[in-house]
């Protein structure tokens, strides 16, 4: 398994303790395309933050690519994030004063790749996503879909072991949402990228091969969804 979670507990303590994750056991294999679904407050974002080494957990074990991710220093955490994980966020989180290509090459900067090489690689990714003409544009000159594609390019440029997408279509209209989900699907099929999507939209979850439901801090049912028939709103559509 690429990702192994054993009995993960997480409690937030803001005045009064809030037990968010109550023993999560989860395994995700290489090349899987998984979605984690749950209502707001179910703990899905917390789980994603732990998976992305953005947050730590109180109890249990998290193995990522056979490395135990526990009590890491900030420096180690940054290193693993850089090497193993690509992030796609709901609000894109591009850096506004950097052009598309500069945003995409930023993870490589932190790997110490030379400017020229970074630029070449970033351009090839943008080209791949049909954004070559937009390379020198700033994020506020791009549409939502373009921004998300830039963000995906940025997430993939370091060739991470997993791509974590937190509500990747949350800020997009339904048409663009479909485009982005198609892009993720294609990446999973052709590049064999392991993708974990966190969403509360069943239409989005329906695009993935496996849907993990999380409720009140524990894993509920896991639906195998090879046929993509799970959405109560029908197939091949994302309701907005």
Comparison of 98 and 228: residue with beta carbon closer to other proteins: 98
Q: How far is the CB of 154 from other proteins (least distance, A)?
A: 7
Element (H or E) spanning 86, and its range? strand 85-88
Window of 10-18, 102-110, 139-147, 183-191 that interacts with other proteins by CB under 8 A: 102-110
Handedness of CA 18, 24, 30, 32 (dihedral sign): negative
Burial class (CB within 10 angstroms; exposed 0-12, middle 13-18, buried 19+) of 9: middle
Please tell me the count of residues contacting other proteins according to CB under 8 A. 29
Window of 80-88, 196-204, 215-223, 224-232 that interacts with other proteins by CB under 8 A: 80-88
Q: How far is the CB of 91 from other proteins (least distance, A)?
A: 7
Comparison of 1 and 171: residue with beta carbon closer to other proteins: 171
Looking at residues 197 to 236 of the shown chain, list those that interact with other proteins (rule: CB under 8 A): none
Strand partners, 88: 165
* Among 10, 44, 81, 147, interactor with other proteins by CB under 8 A: 81
Handedness of CA 51, 148, 239, 224 (dihedral sign): negative
- How far apart are alpha carbons 194 and 164 in whole angstroms? 9
Looking at residues 116 to 155 of the shown chain, list those that interact with other proteins (rule: CB under 8 A): 154-155
* Among 2, 54, 72, 132, interactor with other proteins by CB under 8 A: 54
Comparison of 160 and 217: residue with beta carbon closer to other proteins: 160
Q: How far is the CB of 16 from other proteins (least distance, A)?
A: 19
89-104 burial, b at 16+ Cβ within 10 Å, e below that, comes to: bbebebeeeebbbbbb
* Contact call for residue 161 and other proteins (CB under 8 A): no
* Among 41, 67, 91, 236, interactor with other proteins by CB under 8 A: 91
Q: How far is CA 61 from CA 23, 56, 57, 58, 67, in A?
A: 10, 11, 9, 9, 10
Q: What is the DSSP letter of 151?
A: H
**CB 12: neighbour CB atoms within 10 A?**
14
Backbone angles phi, psi at 156, to 5 degrees: -90, -15
* Among 27, 58, 70, 115, interactor with other proteins by CB under 8 A: 115
Interacting residues toward other proteins by CB under 8 A = 49, 52, 54-55, 74-75, 78-79, 81-83, 87, 89, 91, 93-98, 106-107, 109-111, 115, 154-155, 158
């Amino acid at each position: 398994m690429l990702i192994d979670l054993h009995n993960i507990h997480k409690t937030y303590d803001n005045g009064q303790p809030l037990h968010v994750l109550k023993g999560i056991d989860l395994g995700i294999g290489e090349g899987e395309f998984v979605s984690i679904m749950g209502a707001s407050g179910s703990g899905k974002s917390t789980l994603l933050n732990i998976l992305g080494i953005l947050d730590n957990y109180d109890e249990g074990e998290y193995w990522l690519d056979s490395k135990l991710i526990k009590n890491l220093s900030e420096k180690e955490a940054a290193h693993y994030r850089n090497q193993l994980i690509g992030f796609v966020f709901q609000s894109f989180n591009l850096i506004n004063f950097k052009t598309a290509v500069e945003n995409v090459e930023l993870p490589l900067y932190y790997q110490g790749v030379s400017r020229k090489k970074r630029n070449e690689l970033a351009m090839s990714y943008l080209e791949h996503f049909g954004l070559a003409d937009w390379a020198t544009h700033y994020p506020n000159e791009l549409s939502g879909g373009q921004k998300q594609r830039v963000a995906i390019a940025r997430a993939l440029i370091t060739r991470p072991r997993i791509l974590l997408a937190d509500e990747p279509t949350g800020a997009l209209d339904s048409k663009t949402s479909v485009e982005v989900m198609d892009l993720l699907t294609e990446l999973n099929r052709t590049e064999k990228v392991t993708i974990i999507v966190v969403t509360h939209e069943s239409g989005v979850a329906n695009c993935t091969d496996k849907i993990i439901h999380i409720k009140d801090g524990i894993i509920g049912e896991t639906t195998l969804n090879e046929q993509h028939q799970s959405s109560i709103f029908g197939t091949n559509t994302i309701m907005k």
